[in-house]
A and B are shown apart, each in its own frame.
Chain A
C-alpha cells in the first residue's frame, strides 16, 4: 500500500516538475524577447524606471536573509524543536533565493553581458555594489552552512562545530538591512530616505522567509519528506503575524506622518497612494496585511494547516504590495513635477507589469522551485527516512 502511495506522490511531483520546467522555459523565451526588443517590452518608463524585477530582487534577498536567520537562530538560542528544519531553511537561503534574487537583477539590467564590471569596476560608494557583495556572501555562507548542517544530521560532526558558522549566518541575515540602503540612502527619494526603511526591510525579510518556510513545510509534510508538527507551524504563523503587525504599524505611521502637514513632497506622494492613482493597490495591501495577520494569529486550540497555508500565501502577497507600493508612490512623485518636453517612456500611472515582465518573473520563480526540488531530491535535507524519495 505504502509503495502505491509513494508512486502516486512521485508522479504528482513529476507533474509539478514538468509544469515548473515549462514555465522556466517560457520565462527564458520572455527574456530572449526582452533582450532583442529592449526594455520597451516592459511597462517601465522614465519615471518608474524600476518595477516588478526590483521588487522580486528585494523579496528574494529578504527570503535569503530570513532563511539564514531561521537556520542559525535555533543553534544560537537553543530552540531544539526547530533544529530539524534548519537544513531546509539554509538550502532555501543558499540556492533558490540567492539564485532568484540574482536573476531578478540580471533581467532588470539592460546589458547583462556587462555584469562582470561589478568585479572589475565595482564602485565602493554604491549601495548596489554592496548588495552584490552581500548576495555573493549569502551564497557562500549558506552553501557552507547547509553542508555543515547535513554533516551534523548524519552524525559526522558535533553541534558545537556549527556554532561559529551559525553566528556568521545570523550576522549576515541581520545585514539584510544593507539591501534597504539602495533605497534609503537616496536624497532624491524622501519617502525612502528614512530610518524606518532598514527596519522595515529586516522585518519583511523575516516574515517572507517564515511564510515561504510554512508553505514549503506544508508541501513537504504532505509528501512525507518531513514531519513538522502542526503546533510548530502554528508558532511560525504567530511569529509571522506579529512581524506583519509591525510592518502594518510602520506603513500606517509613515503615511500619517506624510499626510498630516497637508502639503509638501511626502504629502503629494502619499495622497497619490491613498486616494490617487495608487489607491487600488494600496487598499489591496491593507486588506492583504490584515487578512494575513488574522489568519495567522487566530488559530484557536486546534490550528488548521489549510488556514495557515492560506495565511502564508496572503502574507507574501502583502509583502509584495508593501514593497511595490512604496516604490511606485515615490517614483511617480519625483521632486520636480513641472510639465515639460515629453520624453520616451513618459508616465502611465499606476504601473502594472506587462505580460512579458510577469512571464519572466514566473519563469524565475519556477526555476527557483526546480532548484529547490533538486536539492530536496539529491541532498539529505528532510527529517524522515523517506527523504530521498520525494
Chain B
C-alpha cells in the first residue's frame, strides 16, 4: 500500500480552503501552515503575471510530498522523521525531534517543514480540529501528516474532503481501482522537482 495524492491544477482556483481546513483540523499554531497555496504569477501571493489585459495566474498547492525516497529521512540524525513502511507516509515524531532543522535544509520543497520558533500560540483559546491529533511542541519541526489520525478512522485527509472543486484526490497508488489511481490514469501529470530523485507521492495533474 502506498498512499498518494493527486492535485488537479486545472481545477484549483486558489481559494485556500484546503489550507484553512488543514489548519483547523490539525489545530496548527499561529504562523504555521502545513499546506500552502503558492501562486505562479506575480511577485506576491494571489497576484497575476503579465500586464493588463494579458494576465495569467496559476496556483500550486504544496504540502509535504511524502516522498518515496525522502531527503529529510536520510538527513535526520536521530530518526525523528521516518517513512512508515506499511503505507509510505513520512511521519514526524515530535517527541524525538531535537530541533536541529537539518530536515528543513534537506527537503527540496521549500517551507513544507516548519519549525516552532516559539511556544505554540493559537488564534482562539479553545483547541480546534480533531482530538486525536498529536499536540504541537515547542522547538520541534512539523509538517503534513496526510492526516494519519483521520486515515486511522477510515476518513480521508481534511484537505481532500474540503476542496470545493474536487481538485484533490487521495488513495492507495498500489490499488489500480483507487480514486487516485483512476484520477491519474490517462492524464498528464508532473512531480515537483522530479529531477531531485525524491520520488514524491503528490501527482500534479495538468
Contact of A118 among B47, B77, B114, B196 (CB under 8 A): B77
- Shortest CB distance B120–A (Å): 10
Contact of B104 among A37, A49, A132 (CB under 8 A): A49
Write out, one digit per residue, whether chain A residues 158-194 have a CB within 8 A of any chain B CB (1) or not (0): 0000000000000000000000001000111100000
Point out the residues of chain B lying under 8 angstroms from A45, CB to CB.
117
A residues 92-125 near B (Cβ < 8 Å) are 105, 108-112, 114-115, 117-118, 121-123, 125
Point out the residues of chain B lying under 8 angstroms from A338, CB to CB.
38-40, 60
Contact of B37 among A105, A336, A340 (CB under 8 A): A340
Q: How many inter-chain residue pairs (CB < 8 Å) link A and B? A: 163
Asked if B99 and A111 sit within 8 Å, CB to CB, the answer is: yes
Main DSSP-derived SS at the A contact region: loop
A residues 168-226 near B (Cβ < 8 Å) are 182, 186-189
Q: Looking across the interface, which residue of chain A has its beta carbon closest to that of B198?
A: A187
A residues 351-367 near B (Cβ < 8 Å) are none
Asked if A123 and B114 sit within 8 Å, CB to CB, the answer is: no
Known: A187-B196, A341-B33. A126 touches B117 (CB 8 A): no
- Shortest CB distance A118–B (Å): 6
Point out the residues of chain B lying under 8 angstroms from A46, CB to CB.
104, 111, 114-115
- Shortest CB distance A213–B (Å): 31
CA–CA, A343 and B45, complex, Å? 12
Check if A264 is an interface residue, CB within 8 A of chain B. no
Binds A, one of B4-12, B68-76, B153-161, B181-189: B68-76
Check if B140 is an interface residue, CB within 8 A of chain A. yes
Known: A38-B139, A186-B75. A49 touches B118 (CB 8 A): no
Point out the residues of chain B lying under 8 angstroms from A122, CB to CB.
77-79
Asked if B62 and A340 sit within 8 Å, CB to CB, the answer is: yes
Point out the residues of chain A lying under 8 angstroms from B108, CB to CB.
187-188, 335-336
Check if A345 is an interface residue, CB within 8 A of chain B. yes
Check if B1 is an interface residue, CB within 8 A of chain A. no
Known: A186-B105, A343-B31, A344-B30. A334 touches B110 (CB 8 A): yes
Check if B101 is an interface residue, CB within 8 A of chain A. yes
Asked if A123 and B78 sit within 8 Å, CB to CB, the answer is: yes
B residues 105-141 near A (Cβ < 8 Å) are 105-111, 114-119, 138-140
Point out the residues of chain A lying under 8 angstroms from B110, CB to CB.
47, 334-337
- Shortest CB distance A313–B (Å): 30
Asked if B117 and A38 sit within 8 Å, CB to CB, the answer is: yes
CA–CA, A155 and B32, complex, Å? 64
Point out the residues of chain B lying under 8 angstroms from A108, CB to CB.
100
B residues 24-49 near A (Cβ < 8 Å) are 30-33, 36-40, 42-45, 47
CA–CA, A39 and B36, complex, Å? 23
Check if A262 is an interface residue, CB within 8 A of chain B. no
CA–CA, A187 and B192, complex, Å? 14
Asked if A111 and B102 sit within 8 Å, CB to CB, the answer is: no
Check if B15 is an interface residue, CB within 8 A of chain A. no
Check if A74 is an interface residue, CB within 8 A of chain B. no
Check if B19 is an interface residue, CB within 8 A of chain A. yes
Q: Looking across the interface, which residue of chain A has its beta carbon closest to that of B195?
A: A187
Known: A38-B118, A126-B76, A187-B196. A340 touches B39 (CB 8 A): yes
Point out the residues of chain A lying under 8 angstroms from B19, CB to CB.
341
A residues 302-335 near B (Cβ < 8 Å) are 331, 334-335
- Shortest CB distance A226–B (Å): 39
Check if A342 is an interface residue, CB within 8 A of chain B. yes
B residues 79-115 near A (Cβ < 8 Å) are 79-80, 96-102, 104-111, 114-115
Asked if B115 and A49 sit within 8 Å, CB to CB, the answer is: yes
Point out the residues of chain A lying under 8 angstroms from B116, CB to CB.
38, 110
Q: Looking across the interface, which residue of chain A has its beta carbon closest to that of B93?
A: A121
CA–CA, A132 and B110, complex, Å? 26
Asked if A339 and B38 sit within 8 Å, CB to CB, the answer is: yes
- Shortest CB distance A131–B (Å): 8
Point out the residues of chain B lying under 8 angstroms from A109, CB to CB.
98-100
Check if A151 is an interface residue, CB within 8 A of chain B. no
- Shortest CB distance B140–A (Å): 6
Contact of B101 among A49, A114, A126 (CB under 8 A): A49
Asked if A121 and B79 sit within 8 Å, CB to CB, the answer is: yes
Asked if B115 and A114 sit within 8 Å, CB to CB, the answer is: no
Asked if A336 and B105 sit within 8 Å, CB to CB, the answer is: no
Asked if B105 and A345 sit within 8 Å, CB to CB, the answer is: no
Point out the residues of chain A lying under 8 angstroms from B164, CB to CB.
none
Asked if A340 and B118 sit within 8 Å, CB to CB, the answer is: no
Check if B197 is an interface residue, CB within 8 A of chain A. yes
A-B contact pairs, 19 of them (CB 8 A): A39-B118, A39-B139, A49-B104, A111-B139, A121-B96, A123-B77, A123-B79, A125-B74, A186-B75, A187-B198, A188-B106, A334-B111, A335-B110, A336-B192, A340-B60, A340-B62, A341-B19, A341-B37, A343-B31
Binding site for B on A (CB under 8 A): 37-40, 44-47, 49-50, 105, 108-112, 114-115, 117-118, 121-123, 125-129, 132, 182, 186-189, 331, 334-345
Shortest Cβ-Cβ A-B pairs, 10 listed: A110-B99, A344-B31, A110-B139, A340-B38, A188-B108, A334-B110, A338-B38, A117-B78, A341-B36, A128-B77
